[in-house]
Structure 1
């Protein structure tokens, strides 16, 4: 068949702006599959002449109207390149730290080297674009990139999470434009892919953009594998200099549960979320539940006391394809946005707003939420300008905050290094003065160690018994709350309280609200139990500290207790790098930087770069969400789907709906799934405790042995050289401090 290979046809724009129908509707009109429409829109220059004629016939348009339709692509989204200042400062610090390691490699302790290694390169914000299929995500991404179109191989039928990064972010050992990674269980930490061994562990393919055809489209060779692929594409677009963009599969189609899982997992790693919903069908079906879930897990970047980011500043809800509503009527669209914001605010449980206020200091009113609703259309500037200005402002503020935080962290690090150098200097001097005296006490320490290890093992087992008791208490407490919420009278009261009608849309909202109640009650229980665990851990570490003190009391004059045997420090460092901390999240969140520089929270992303903590409660909630998010969302969607076919009669409809909801929860075995979340949470807690405890005890033993070696083996000349070395190290660190204060 003859093809028009060089014609500039904007079939996607023609369908959306002229016909105002979905891809599925157009496919039915033409008697083809939706995939066929996807391919035609991705490669309009290859549409057969017969198909164009048929399109004209079924739509009542002339060939000239179809082939002549072309929509102007917005100009490149322009953002000041403030991230360059962040990079320059990081390079300056790394240069100084590298010199320090090279010039003083013989006297830097392992602990000091670990501190230096923990000074990580600041991470650019991750902007995730989410929405159901046909929401216009690809068109929106095109507008941000300032590109006529993204490579046709992945849009708009995306079936994998695709991270768009700037070409300058590509590690030297990666040569291709595209890398395909196996992200089973969402295990990959993007920031670690600069390590070649880590990258090779997950990499399964790479190549040009053409490789995306096999992995990202529904006709691709690997689509049916049902594998959670994470794909990174390195591109040269201006916006990617200040952020990473994440293109996420449309969720809620029932085609693939994996798409829903990927969309949910993206919420947990995204710093900024832009949710698109078509203006002519705004926030329908399961969308409100999904947005409520986003509000629950998305950490607020705003801090009333310390930065200028607006309340909910990293949360955008966008009415896309805005021209489909009264030809882009601003007043009509405002009504749609306000009504949508009101529904979301009503359906969002008050505990979610309370948690955000605890962290940020802001009060989250309906007006605050309404200010985060925007419109978008490519061909009418007024309908996208407010969104673009707001996003631009956010992306320009973030680097300024990151730069300030980087300077504070750098100063904290070098002061901490200076403190440790001084401690080592004093220790070597004491050893030189009293070496013979300490040698006499060595045997007492060796004989006492075995007994203290047995005592410490009993203390450890006692903590594990208490953790298991907290697990049982959590299940019992949630069972009581579950029965209170899934009670017909309670559900009827919720219907009245929130003014839900018997329309199917409101019944779905009701189901989402109940799901939210269950989630917040579960989170509250686990947060309270985690707070109890904090007291248990503090008491445990106090007892361990007392045992170590009694073991090393004869060497305290060397000033080793606080520098070598700080048990909180050693326990905390064992948590570093763990994927989840479970119930230890609250304990970890109270540590701050632990003397200046031990960072043990899971966040190695933007929050860490900005230098803000999400707070104890929010940290624990995040830990719950990382385990339970996919499960609770799956339960909620299943219940909502079950209610969609429910026939509602007049009369006592509130009672019948309440009874149906209880029945659906029982049918789907919901309590067992929530119990699964609780068990996973406390299993993670046990693993985190055991790892941290093993690290602490191994480090104590290693440091006692190191001290014994210094007392027995090192001669006077070596100790004198060490004193000189640490004195010179402190002088170099003082020079770095002076240069930092000038910057």
Structure 2
């Protein structure tokens, strides 16, 4: 029986007048049928489905009940609140510190803030997969448009109502523009008032989602990038949910937004209609990219590889229930396995393809809103991830971020205290040391410039060498015979090859790009280490004095980390530093763990060169594959079609300058390294000058009481940070794959 009022208000989000106009019925008729659902005939149901452009089965969807999830972050939120309140007691004191000390304090505390955030679960899939329907079911209410025709045209972030900043007032939803054409609105800054007001396009009740995120509104509001919605739903206590536009539409923006979400997500639910499960080649191309680029869960022994990906056959009741699902899973698994490249799997996961596939096979699930048995296994696996795996990971990362904050900030305050102690007890030696630092400024800066020139020459050399390597490889390996072998290895029909072959050839380029950059990065790392050691040695030499053992402290590691973070890119210097025992923790925290985890980089000092380069080629690989697949589909091939298609692929790759696309990625990586180099030297020299200024101000103090007050202040600040409230935690850090 159809609950017409519920369907109109909650499912369609339509008022009475709009509904009257769409279905072309009298208002009195609609009111009658809403009050008397047993009077609705099959003829009326058929007419409604025709007028609304939906299937009749959608009219009878049950009201979503919602997935009940424990409030697993209550303890973590409580810890974060305790620390916030504790730090608030010293806010005025911190505000009166020199700006450099305030920035240092804020930078490391931001790491604590980032790691207190809940994980993000992205719902991905083609435009007709039923993503919004699943989300509405998980929420327990009709939140998103879920008509069969493609509707969502922006990224929608769903957060719990308790996360809503007070300055949003009564609004439930804010709609945002992007940072730029290449960078979307940043969800981690949802509580940054200035950032949100600068990017806000509109705000209001949940009804404005229909205005701004409907496919029909795309031309009217082309600058809409994202919306954030605050709801009282159980599942949102354990995660944020990201609803993405369906890829594979005729709107390139949709595919771009879906790709972008992979980098922001901690887990991905990939939906595909069960009655057409991976029948479309675009679906295979996209899920392959998701698998290759999604970050890994480290430190948690209960989380085997791929625990954070769900491949879901949606609308599962349409295929006849559970008896048909094993065949559907096998078809999907076989199709995905055939698309995964042995070279890429080895590069990204350090596993053979056969071993990797043993982790993939258990990640297939079914889903149907109207039948619990068809979604139970998915919901149980999702609950396990949300209630057991992610909380352990987040707790470990949070505690580590607090450890880093305490260690670095206490160290900074201790060094400041030591300056004043030296000024009090060894003024002459301190003045001599200051003079040595002052007089050595020019030689230090010149040495830095020599190191910059040395590394810049190496970077230029690697750009030329890496570009030449991938060009030479293409000449020797990307041949008609090699492409024909790909067709035969994968046992393609002509129609399959037309759609999928471009993706497979792109994988060859992607694997080679990764291999070339990993090799160059391994050779670059010793040069980067020499650079870091040279910076530190030069400062130590300048700090040495003839008498005594006192040195004026300068936080060179913190300065290097700040320079790398300011560069805003991940290049060779950052990759090298993150794997160095004496710099890794600084770099990882300064870079922002959310960025690194999106690339699969562990924050426990286990980052590898592969982690930094593994995701570089993915976005262009999928772009090439989708575009080329459409092109080849219209071609008529006769006779020796494999040879003809191989020739077509190579000609199209040349026409589209595919090699140049991957060579540009080489340039991007090493130019990013150059940007890191420039930023590190600039930051270190700026910090050096600030250090001299602060030392001079300290030495100008002649009032013993003022010096004692400073010593007391920095001693108290050390004790204050050490006394941050902590709770005993048990971190599960073994068993990571």
TM-score (norm. length: structure 1) = 0.84
Q: 2:245 maps to what in 1?
A: 249
Q: 2:658 maps to what in 1?
A: 670
| Secondary structure in 1 matching 2:228 | strand
Structure 1 residue 246 displacement after superposition: 1.1
1:62-92, Cα deviation, whole Å (9 max, x unpaired): xxx9699623234210111111111001112
Q: Identify the match of residue 502 of structure 2 among 499, 511, 515.
A: 511
Distance 2:439 2:484 in 1: 69
1:252-331 matches, cutoff 5 A? 252-253=248-249, 255-283=250-278, 284-303=280-299, 306-325=300-319, 327-328=320-321, 330-331=322-323
Structure 1 residue 383 displacement after superposition: 1.2
Unpaired runs of 5+ residues, structure 2, are: 31-41, 731-737
Distance 1:362 1:95 in 2: 50
Unpaired runs of 5+ residues, structure 1, are: 14-35
Q: Identify the match of residue 616 of structure 1 among 593, 600, 608.
A: 608
Distance 2:635 2:419 in 1: 76
| Secondary structure in 2 matching 1:206 | strand
Distance 1:354 1:421 in 2: 46
Structure 1 residue 93 displacement after superposition: 2.0
1:597-645, Cα deviation, whole Å (9 max, x unpaired): 56133433794999567822343136x53xx544332111111112222
Using a 3 Å threshold, how does the CA distance of structure 1 residues 687 and 472 change in structure 2: closer, same or farther? same
Are 1:77 and 1:144, in contact at CA under 8 Å, matched by a contact in 2?
Answer: yes
1:390 aligns with 2:381: yes
Using a 3 Å threshold, how does the CA distance of structure 1 residues 434 and 133 change in structure 2: closer, same or farther? same
Are 2:153 and 2:254, in contact at CA under 8 Å, matched by a contact in 1?
Answer: yes
| Secondary structure in 2 matching 1:277 | strand
Q: Identify the match of residue 234 of structure 1 among 230, 233, 243.
A: 230
Distance 1:466 1:549 in 2: 26
Q: 2:699 maps to what in 1?
A: 711
Distance 1:665 1:68 in 2: 43
Q: 1:495 maps to what in 2?
A: 487
1:650-729 matches, cutoff 5 A? 650=639, 652-729=640-717
Q: Identify the match of residue 192 of structure 1 among 169, 189, 194.
A: 189
Are 1:485 and 1:491, in contact at CA under 8 Å, matched by a contact in 2?
Answer: no
Structure 1 residue 157 displacement after superposition: 0.6
Distance 1:301 1:43 in 2: 47
Q: 1:643 maps to what in 2?
A: 632
1:446-465 matches, cutoff 5 A? 446-465=438-457
Are 1:376 and 1:383, in contact at CA under 8 Å, matched by a contact in 2?
Answer: yes
Are 1:115 and 1:597, in contact at CA under 8 Å, matched by a contact in 2?
Answer: no
Q: 2:528 maps to what in 1?
A: 537
Distance 1:157 1:461 in 2: 53
Are 2:436 and 2:543, in contact at CA under 8 Å, matched by a contact in 1?
Answer: no
Structure 1 residue 595 displacement after superposition: 8.2
Distance 1:155 1:319 in 2: 18
TM-score (norm. length: structure 2) = 0.85
Q: 1:97 maps to what in 2?
A: 87
Q: 1:158 maps to what in 2?
A: 152
1:120 aligns with 2:113: yes
Using a 3 Å threshold, how does the CA distance of structure 1 residues 135 and 105 change in structure 2: closer, same or farther? closer
1:470-516, Cα deviation, whole Å (9 max, x unpaired): 22222111212333442111112223333x23241244333322211
1:102-135, Cα deviation, whole Å (9 max, x unpaired): 5677779454564345432512111111111111
1:219 aligns with 2:216: yes
Structure 1 residue 581 displacement after superposition: 1.9
Distance 2:645 2:92 in 1: 71
Structure 1 residue 348 displacement after superposition: 0.9
1:533-612 matches, cutoff 5 A? 533-554=524-545, 559-560=550-551, 563-566=553-556, 568-576=557-565, 578-591=567-580, 594=583, 599-604=589-594, 607=597
Q: CA RMSD in A?
A: 3.8
Distance 1:140 1:67 in 2: 15
Are 1:589 and 1:619, in contact at CA under 8 Å, matched by a contact in 2?
Answer: no
Are 1:164 and 1:234, in contact at CA under 8 Å, matched by a contact in 2?
Answer: yes
1:139 aligns with 2:130: no
Distance 1:158 1:75 in 2: 22
| Secondary structure in 2 matching 1:232 | strand
Q: 1:28 maps to what in 2?
A: none
Are 1:292 and 1:347, in contact at CA under 8 Å, matched by a contact in 2?
Answer: yes
1:35-114 matches, cutoff 5 A? 47-49=23-25, 56=46, 70-102=60-92, 109-110=101-102, 111-112=104-105, 114=107
Distance 1:310 1:578 in 2: 34
Distance 1:346 1:310 in 2: 22
1:164-203 matches, cutoff 5 A? 164-175=158-169, 176-183=171-178, 184=180, 185-203=182-200
Distance 1:39 1:371 in 2: 44
Aligned length: 698
Q: Identify the match of residue 519 of structure 2 among 507, 528, 547.
A: 528
Distance 2:604 2:14 in 1: 43
1:636-655, Cα deviation, whole Å (9 max, x unpaired): 111111222233435x3332
Q: 2:36 maps to what in 1?
A: none
